[in-house]
Amino acid sequence: MADAGTRDLLKLAARRLFALRGFDGVSVRDIVVAAGQRNSGSLHYYFGSKDELARELVADGAKLIDDRRNRHLDAIEARGGPRNLRDLVEILVWPSTNLAGDVTQTSKEDTYIRFITMLQMSHRQLFLDALEGKWASGYDRVLGHIRALLADIDPEILNQRLMLMSLYLRAAMSSREAALEGGKPHRVWSDAVTMENFIDTIEGMLKPKPSKRTVAMLEQRAAAGKLRGKTARSKAAQSKSGRRDSYAP
């Protein structure tokens, strides 16, 4: 770490502090001190502002995960797939693991998933702006295939499940990252079976047919003319704003 440049040291310190305290719980001075810098203006010199630093940190990890997802999906499509839901869920999960040393080269410490999970909760627009509408292409491709495979499920219900899936992924992967921090073993997350079972649970929340009660409530809303109108307005608004309903690292 002694050989690392000031810029990388500031990024490493900021990412860890943001992951532990949240974006609003960290000051510019906190970052500068944690990076071992004497000049309080160093962050502004390299990044301009704390917001711009956060955007760069988001993009660093998002580019890496997106590249991994796209490469995995390219390989599956070249073989004529994907043919099953599990292949797609695995593309959502595995590229978000073992990020240490790739997001920044100055440490073997994983904090990226916790950082963006906290940021999405408190500063969602900042996070979305950092993706620049392009660093989630692999995620969007996977969701497109999931929708095709689960075309028998009402689109409104499936969209809700995908949104809930993204929340579940972020929470579980953040927990995993914290448990394995520093390379220490963990009684649950160090067990390979846990990850396979985790993937099982994601499959399980996506593919079951909706319950009779859910279907009945959906039909009631549709009959009242609210469901389709709301969906159409939501899609139109999303198209204009460029915002998404879900994203998972």
Map out the domains of the chain as residue ranges. 60-241
- Positive or negative, the CA dihedral 58, 63, 69, 70 is positive
pLDDT of residue 124: 95
Q: Mean pLDDT: which of 24-28, 224-228, 231-235 is highest?
A: 24-28
Q: What radius of gyration do the chain's Cα atoms show?
A: 20
What's the pLDDT at 154? 92
Whether pLDDT at 82 is above 50: yes
| Average per-residue pLDDT for the chain | 88
C-alpha separations of 35 from 32, 54, 72, 158 in Å: 5, 15, 35, 44
pLDDT value at 108 more than 70: no
Confidence of residue 241 (pLDDT cuts 50, 70, 90): very low
Region 60-241: CATH code: 1.10.357
pLDDT for 161-213, tens place per residue? Answer: 999 999 999 999 999 999 998 788 899 999 999 999 999 999 999 999 999 99
- Residues 246 and 170: their CA atoms lie apart, in Å, by 11
pLDDT tens-digit map of 10-24: 999 999 999 999 999
Rounded to 5°, the CA angle 181-126-238 comes to: 115
